[in-house]
Amino acid sequence: MNINNGLIEGQPRGGLPLIVSVLSVAAIVWFFLFAVKGTPFWTVIAIATFVLGSISIIVYPDTLRASLKTWLMHIALGLLVAGILYFIFYVGNIIVRLLPFGSSGVEAVYGTKSQASDRTILMLLLFPVGPGEELFWRGLVQRALSARLGPLKGFIIATLLYTAVHLPSMNITLIGAAAVGGIVWGLLYRKVKHIGPGIVSHAIWDAAVFVLFPFT
């Protein structure tokens, strides 16, 4: 494979059929998570993100490869982006709650917290949920689409797909949050060309929003 603008050219192992297959699985999983009552949310999303994240590493074995110095910089950048993203959502939460549907939408996002303890949720968000989502949506989907269609189109389509899987929730607040997060993490991956900062940012932001400093 050749390197062009930091993105590996050529299709991943398994090619386009693999990408379509794993995207189909992701769509089904997220549909059950948000549209089928009684789905054990935290169990399903933990298993799904672990499996999908693992597939990403199998498809792109170099996805986590970096020197210790580089990883330390990725961690620092990821923490910074997580803080900025939390501030964006803090302000957004205030604005959204002024809208007719706002408060109910925010409360619905936290509805799944009744299914597990805060400690369990925190552990799952830090691993495998946050890292797994980044490995899959950016490290596999965006990377593969960028290699096939170019960095800009790859970023746009991957972000739209990430947002789209949240549509079954019928929660405008959650869908909007997914779109904002997808844009930030997608741009971060496109700029840095490594999944490290996104993994750190996504996991820490999840933990802060859902458990450590929730908007409820």
Q: How confident is the model at residue 129 (pLDDT cuts 50, 70, 90)?
A: very high
What gap in Å lies between CA 147 and CA 138, rounded to an integer?
12
Q: How confident is the model at residue 10 (pLDDT cuts 50, 70, 90)?
A: low
The separation between the first and the last C-alpha atoms of the chain, rounded to the nearest angstrom, is: 48
Q: Quote the tokens at residue 32.
A: 């059950």
pLDDT of residue 110: 96
Strand partners, 3: 8
pLDDT of residue 16: 81
pTM over 0.75: yes
pLDDT of residue 35: 95
What gap in Å lies between CA 189 and CA 134, rounded to an integer?
9
pLDDT digits (tens, 9 = 90+) for 13-36: 777 888 999 999 999 999 999 999
What length is written for the chain?
Answer: 216
What gap in Å lies between CA 139 and CA 136, rounded to an integer?
5
CA atoms within 13 A on the CB side of 34: 19
pLDDT of residue 1: 39
Tell me what the mean pLDDT of segment 187-207 comes to: 98
Q: How confident is the model at residue 102 (pLDDT cuts 50, 70, 90)?
A: confident
**Taking the alpha carbons of 56, 29, 159, 16 in that order, is the dihedral positive or negative?**
positive
Q: Is the pLDDT at 49 greater than 50, yes or no?
A: yes
pLDDT of residue 4: 41
